[in-house]
A and B are shown apart, each in its own frame.
Chain A
Amino acid sequence: MSAAVSLPPALAELVDDFAGVGPKDRLQLLLELSQELPDLPERYTDAAATMEQVPECQSPLFLAVEVDADAERHVHLYFSAPPEAPTTRGFASIMHAGLDGQPAAAVLAVPDDFYTALGLAQAVSPLRLRGMAAMLARIKRQVREA
């Protein structure tokens, strides 16, 4: 798909995974991803004090962005979301699996509306998807400011 052209390989693969199955299986995929969101390192234990909240998400979600000092400025992402918010955790997990470890330029090149290609609007609803758009916007801003 054309959208994949400007996506980092891991994110493009995720988009293909979602696009390749029906709406019900997309929810299952999102649920599995929500269970794969890595635990936070100790330095972010106090999420509210050390991370940026993404209030556009339905449930409390905090994110932190670290950018390496190397030439490609590799990006590292950290997310905190409660277990009773699996949809929000799933969105965060898509970001993590798709963008963690990527060069800054690749993260900044991800189209703001890439998530529409996941085909989740029908199963999850467009309203809920806004959280993912907000997450990407805040990640990009932190990368630019880093």
Chain B
Amino acid sequence: MLIACSVLVVTLILPGLTLPVLVRALGVQADTDTDPVAARRCRKATPTQPDGSKATLLRPRAPGTSLATMAIENDTDPKLAAYAHPERLVTTAWLAEHLGADGLVVVESDEDVLLYDTGHIPGAVKVDWHTELNDPVTRDYVDGERFAQICAERGISRDTTVVFYGDRNNWWATYALWVFALFGHADLRILDGGRAKWVAEGRELTTEQPKPTPAEYPVVERDDATIRAFKDDVLAHLGQPLVDVRSPGEYSGELLHMPDYPQEGAVRGGHIPGAASVPWARAAAEDATFKPRADLEAIYLQEQGLSADDDVIAYCRIGERSATRGSC
């Protein structure tokens, strides 16, 4: 379970690189646990459109609630404004000011299943990536019906602004955001710096459990084509840019697992032919925020030779690391 995906990072920063897609069942590295995810893709195309076109059971909107009245202003912080998709990020200061706003739901998604319960951002709800976003039987992400339940129970409707944050450099927060993106939810944002920065700044935490008013959420078909790449997609992609965000040892084949995570390994060592090695942590600053755009350009554009027009597939082993990469 180590996934933190770097795709999100790049997207915000580099125009043209958008949200990631996970590749299932990569020939190079089969998963040994329940997570089907191995890689994420950044496409030139805009990510999943939120127009509900794939909705199979769109319920009518309640009278008097329009998208226009629910929209929440973007964070205009200068650091974020430099990214390709500044609307995908918020600062801790912005979130503190907007807590409790109508149409905003804050979601905590952690590696540690109990961390939320020790204290969380006031009003934030919890989504557990492992027990809630994955289907234990199909070993894939949940389907549209279950996703609608997860959202509805948490007071999230189709036009809600959802801000994700979590532990471990937002690995699971970006993972959750990415799963929400598979269902075409429009307004998804990441708290830059995640839980660590919020805590480091001494901001309020509470153990009080929010009791959200259940919302209506349509059953939307999961879109596995736009930001997700499967084995055949990767095979067809060979020769175009691939970014391996795992550790150098996993990339070289010396390790079958992340450092310090020996219980979670790939079956085979090595990397996909032609993939560049850019460990996810290189995109992260010390305080768990994404590095500024100039630093990311130095890595992805100057050093790795990527351009804004490239169709990039980023991958890790099960998706959390590559999700952080896609976040920007």
Please report A residues at the B interface, Cβ cutoff 8 Å.
27-28, 30-31, 34, 55-56, 58-60, 83-88, 90, 122-128, 130-131, 134
Contacts and interface: CB of A to CB of B under 8 A. Distances in A.
Nearest to A60: B260
A86 B118 contact: yes
Interface in B281-299: none
B310 to A, nearest CB: 34
B262 A31 contact: no
Nearest to B260: A55
Contacts of B130: 125, 127-128
A127 B1 contact: yes
B49 to A, nearest CB: 32
A4 B97 CA distance: 52
Interface in B105-149: 111-115, 117-118, 130-131
B25 to A, nearest CB: 18
Interface in B4-40: 33-34
A126 B112 CA distance: 13
B165 to A, nearest CB: 14
Nearest to A128: B113
Contacts of A59: 111-112
B112 A125 contact: no
A60 B260 CA distance: 8
A139 to B, nearest CB: 17
A131 B114 CA distance: 15
A126 B117 CA distance: 20
Contacts of A122: 131
A143 B261 CA distance: 25
A56 B112 contact: no
A17 B131 CA distance: 22
B250 interface: no
18 contacts: A27-B117, A28-B117, A31-B114, A31-B118, A34-B114, A55-B262, A56-B262, A60-B260, A83-B118, A84-B112, A84-B115, A84-B167, A86-B117, A86-B118, A88-B112, A90-B114, A127-B33, A127-B34
Contact of B263 (A31, A34, A84, A130): A130
Contact of A27 (B111, B114, B261, B262): B114
B263 A125 contact: no
Of A86, A88, A134, most buried by chain B (CB within 10 Å of CB) is A86
A124 B115 CA distance: 12
Contact of A30 (B114, B261, B262): B114
A136 to B, nearest CB: 14
B117 A31 contact: yes
Nearest to B261: A55
A83 B167 CA distance: 12
A9 B237 CA distance: 59
Nearest to A83: B118
Contacts of B111: 58-59
Contacts of A131: 263
Given A31-B118, A127-B34, A134 B263 contact: yes
B112 A86 contact: yes
Contacts of A60: 260
A128 to B, nearest CB: 6
Given A30-B114, A86-B115, A125-B130, 11 more contacts: A28-B117, A34-B114, A55-B261, A55-B263, A56-B262, A58-B261, A60-B260, A84-B115, A123-B113, A127-B33, A127-B264
Contacts of A30: 114
A124 B113 CA distance: 7
Contacts of A125: 34, 113, 130-131
Contact of A56 (B34, B167, B263): B263
B121 to A, nearest CB: 15
Contacts of A124: 113, 131
A87 B113 contact: yes
A8 B101 CA distance: 52
B263 A87 contact: no
A55 B260 CA distance: 6
A142 to B, nearest CB: 18
A131 B1 CA distance: 13
A86 B34 contact: no
Contacts of B263: 55-56, 130-131, 134
A87 B261 CA distance: 16
